[in-house]
């Protein structure tokens, strides 16, 4: 089987299109994501499961068909061909003006879906002018809105912003389209994905990137617990989950994403780093609560990236949102729970991108 197709079929196995349990090249690690999903069934019961669900916490479904209902886009159904094409576009730096920055630059799939710096760095080594941190792309399909100010309703719309933004990839729409359509291999892949009559527009390109991002789901042992596996969490992790609920953290961090919705932030005016950057929320002074999934991998924290440890992040959230001091013992238990949200990543093989041609617009570097 062609390796590219095999890789695509693997991702589809997660979402229920294909019954294959393997990912390209490594039968041991390749089945890890499907195993993580399927292992979330059975194992007894625990009253804490019901308590968590009543508090608004929801698991990634263990059933692949149910998961597919959540992540698929009826207007652009997921297929193996679209996933593989979207992956290539996600990793292709030629979608930026300089030919140096790809989606993966700021949302690195090898490092928790983030770049690991306080504020995103883009075209010409420009730091985000609002000192905004790059959120993780993993599980972003479960967010109710995208961007810190919630201005985009879904991933396909969100993908359009960074490509065009001057401090990020800085590429005008027409330049992106010219780059992609100048490469015959890309044109053929678009035809395979969407049919021979496809019109390759900027929106079609970003829709395909967004579709790929929809598949970046990371089930964890927390999901196994909520799906019925009582022994998936140990005593300390359960104690941390109990504290997380009892202290009120689930008021903002709920749903499948444990976040991803617009919330009031710093109502008490006590956020330690509130004066770093000029971002104060949307028109309603609300900020998107980030997903807590894979949180141990996504430092630094908060919209301006000024907090580097989970311990301080928990302390700050207690003061800023809950108006309470969280002692070290409780902090450690909550941190233990948060680490149960670290999930199994899809096995994504870095793609070999098609070659540019003589008609491909050259990099613009100042």
Please say if 81 is a catalytic residue: no
The share of the chain scoring above pLDDT 90, in percent, equals 86
* pLDDT tops 50 at residue 186: yes
pLDDT (tens digit per residue) in 113-149: 999 999 999 999 999 999 999 999 999 999 999 999 9
Q: Identify whether 286 is part of a domain.
A: yes
Predicted TM-score (pTM) of the model is 0.88
Does residue 137 share a domain with residue 45? no
Candidate list 64, 81, 156, 168, residue with the active-site label: 168
C-alpha distance from residue 17 to each of 12, 102, 165, 172 (Å): 5, 28, 35, 35
Residue 82 is part of a domain; what is its CATH number?
Answer: 1.10.760.10
* pLDDT tops 50 at residue 4: no
Alpha helices by DSSP H, the chain: 3-15, 27-30, 32-38, 47-54, 64-71, 80-91, 103-106, 155-158, 160-164, 173-181, 184-194, 202-214, 221-226, 235-246, 310-321, 328-338
Does residue 164 share a domain with residue 89? yes
As a whole number of angstroms, the distance between CA 71 and CA 224 comes to 19
As a whole number of angstroms, the distance between CA 211 and CA 73 comes to 8
Nearest to 163 by CA among 92, 87, 258: 92
Q: Identify whether 255 is part of a domain.
A: yes
Does residue 276 share a domain with residue 262? yes
Does residue 271 share a domain with residue 187? no
Does residue 80 share a domain with residue 66? no
As a whole number of angstroms, the distance between CA 183 and CA 160 comes to 21
pLDDT (tens digit per residue) in 237-268: 999 999 999 999 999 999 999 999 999 998 77
What tokens appear for 317 in the block?
């959230």
As a whole number of angstroms, the distance between CA 121 and CA 133 comes to 9
Q: Identify whether 361 is part of a domain.
A: no
pLDDT (tens digit per residue) in 82-115: 999 999 999 999 999 999 999 999 999 999 999 9
Does residue 264 share a domain with residue 194? no
Does residue 208 share a domain with residue 92? yes
The least confident of 1-5, 275-279, 349-353 is 1-5
Does residue 132 share a domain with residue 7? no
As a whole number of angstroms, the distance between CA 286 and CA 266 comes to 9
Does residue 208 share a domain with residue 87? yes
Q: How large is the average pLDDT for residues 213-232?
A: 98
Does residue 46 share a domain with residue 18? yes
Residue 211: helix, strand or coil by DSSP?
A: helix
Does residue 168 share a domain with residue 248? no
Does residue 256 share a domain with residue 182? no
Q: Which residue, of 165, 183, 214, is where some domain finishes?
A: 214
* pLDDT tops 80 at residue 10: no
* pLDDT tops 50 at residue 350: yes
Question: How many domains does the structure of the chain reveal?
Answer: 2
* Domain extent at residue 119: 74-214
Q: Identify whether 308 is part of a domain.
A: yes
């Amino acid at each position: 089987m062609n390796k590219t197709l095999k890789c695509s079929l693997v991702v589809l196995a997660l979402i229920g299109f294909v019954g294959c349990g393997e990912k390209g090249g490594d039968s041991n690690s390749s089945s890890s994501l499907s195993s993580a999903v399927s292992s979330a069934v059975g194992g007894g019961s625990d009253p804490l499961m019901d308590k968590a669900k009543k508090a608004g916490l929801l698991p990634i479904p263990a059933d692949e068909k149910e998961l597919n209902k959540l992540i698929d886009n009826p207007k652009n159904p997921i297929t193996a061909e679209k996933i593989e094409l979207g992956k290539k576009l996600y990793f292709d730096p030629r979608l930026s003006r300089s030919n140096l920055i790809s989606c993966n630059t700021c949302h690195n799939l090898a490092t928790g879906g983030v770049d690991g710096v306080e504020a995103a760095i883009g075209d010409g080594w420009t730091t985000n002018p609002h000192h905004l941190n790059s959120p993780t792309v993993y599980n972003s399909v479960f967010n109710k809105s995208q961007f810190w100010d919630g201005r985009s309703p879904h991933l396909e719309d969100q993908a359009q912003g960074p490509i065009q933004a001057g401090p990020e990839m800085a590429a005008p729409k027409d330049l992106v389209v010219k780059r992609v359509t100048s490469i015959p291999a890309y044109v053929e892949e678009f035809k395979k994905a969407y049919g021979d009559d496809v019109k390759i527009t900027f929106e079609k390109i970003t829709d395909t990137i967004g579709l790929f991002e929809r598949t970046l789901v990371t089930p964890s042992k927390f999901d196994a617990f909520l799906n019925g596996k009582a022994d998936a969490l140990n005593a300390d992790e359960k104690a941390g989950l109990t504290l997380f609920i009892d202290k009120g953290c689930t008021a903002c961090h709920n749903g499948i994403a444990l976040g991803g919705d617009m919330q009031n932030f710093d109502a008490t005016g006590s956020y330690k780093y509130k004066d770093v950057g000029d971002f104060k929320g949307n028109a309603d002074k609300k900020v998107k609560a980030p997903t807590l999934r894979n949180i141990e991998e996504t430092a630094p924290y908060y919209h301006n990236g000024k907090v580097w440890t989970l311990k301080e992040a928990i302390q700050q959230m207690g003061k800023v949102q809950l108006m309470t001091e969280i002692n070290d013992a409780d902090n450690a238990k909550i941190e233990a729970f948060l680490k149960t949200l670290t999930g199994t990543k899809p096995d994504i093989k870095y793609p070999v991108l098609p070659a540019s041609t003589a008609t491909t617009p050259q990099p613009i570097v100042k």
